[in-house]
Amino acid sequence: MESNKNNNAFVIVDVQNDFCPGGKLAVSEGDKIVPIINNLSSIFFKVVATQDWHPSNHVSFAKSHPGKNEFETIELEDNVQILWPEHCVQGTEGADFHPDLDLRPVDLIIRKGTNPNLDSYSAFFENDHKTATGLGYYLKGFGIKKVFLCGLATDVCVFYSAMDSAYLGFETYVIEDASRGVDVPEGNLKNSLDKMIQSGIKIIKSDEVKIYL
């Protein structure tokens, strides 16, 4: 099945080994979304995949801050940084896409978090909220009006990507069953979904996608 419209894009967020079961920062059932994504990707005009791609000395790693523990927060110049376990280090197996993810329909891969001094949750902007990844320009250059997002994790990188997508003026959809959340702290997943809905983002299921294309 193919869409006959060319104003839509599918953004697959961080479906990487380190975010799937067995990975260093695993999201529960993160691998379960892969078949759903594979079934969807062929129907979109443009398909983009994002990839966390951190240097080994990245500012977001707890090991980069002696005396600090994983999941603590620290103050940086412009924002608060959660300290994560080392994950998605450039060139490692953990940074690779899940082996079952079909990359053939993917037109563009955005690697984010490459600056050792700046984290990057969103597919559109790094965490200073000023440094653009280039994705917004790419999509607008192709006349994209509708952006459909999925991936890992719903309440972190998918959330920030969707909020930035809406901020940039795209009609934005999050495919809930093609995403999984971490829900840390408890309630964060619901709060993130509520914030997205309040921002005009539509939360849909994979079997509804064709209705909105």
CATH number for the domain harbouring residue 135: 3.40.50.850
Note if the pTM is more than 0.85: yes
Q: pLDDT per position in the chain (213 positions), as tens? A: 444 489 999 999 999 999 999 999 999 999 999 999 999 999 999 999 999 999 999 999 999 999 999 888 998 877 788 899 999 999 999 999 999 999 999 999 999 999 999 999 999 999 999 999 999 999 999 999 999 999 999 999 999 999 999 999 999 999 999 999 999 889 999 999 999 999 999 999 999 999 999
Query: 104 in a domain, yes or no?
Result: yes
What is the DSSP track for 70-117? Answer: TT-EEE-SSSEEEPBPS--BTTSGGGSBPTTS--TT--EEEEE--STT
**Residue pair 10/41 in contact by the 8 Å Cβ criterion:** yes
Range of the domain at 40: 23-55+98-212
Give pLDDT, residue 174: 98
Is the residue at 81 inside a domain?
no
112 and 124 Cβ atoms separated by less than 8 Å: no
Q: What is the pLDDT of residue 76?
A: 82
CB neighbour list of residue 68: distance below 8 Å, 6 or more residues apart: 62, 74, 83
Rounded distance, CA 26 to CA 23, Å? 5
Tokens of 51: 């990839």
Active site residue 112: yes
Q: Torsion-angle region of residue 6: left (phi > 0), alpha (psi -120 to 50) or beta?
A: alpha
Confidence (pLDDT) at 3: 47
> Does residue 163 lie within any of the structural domains?
yes
Q: What is the model's pLDDT at position 82?
A: 87
Cα–Cα distance for residue pair 162/211, rounded to 1 Å? 19
Catalytic residue among 20, 88, 150, 157: 157
Q: Catalytic residue among 18, 112, 146, 164, which?
A: 112
Look at residue 44 in the predicted model and tell me its pLDDT: 97
Annotated catalytic residue: which of 14, 31, 119, 155? 14
Would residue 6 count as lying in a domain?
A: no
The count of structural domains within the chain is 1
What is the pLDDT at residue 185? 82
pLDDT at 19: 98
CB 149, CB 165: distance < 8 Å: yes
157 catalytic? Reply is yes
pLDDT value for 2: 46
Is 138 a member of any domain?
A: yes
In a domain, 48, yes or no: yes
Q: What is the pLDDT of residue 1?
A: 42
Res 211: pLDDT: 95
pLDDT at 80: 84
How, if at all, do strands 73-75 and 80-82 pair?
Answer: antiparallel
106 vs 196: CA distance, rounded Å: 25
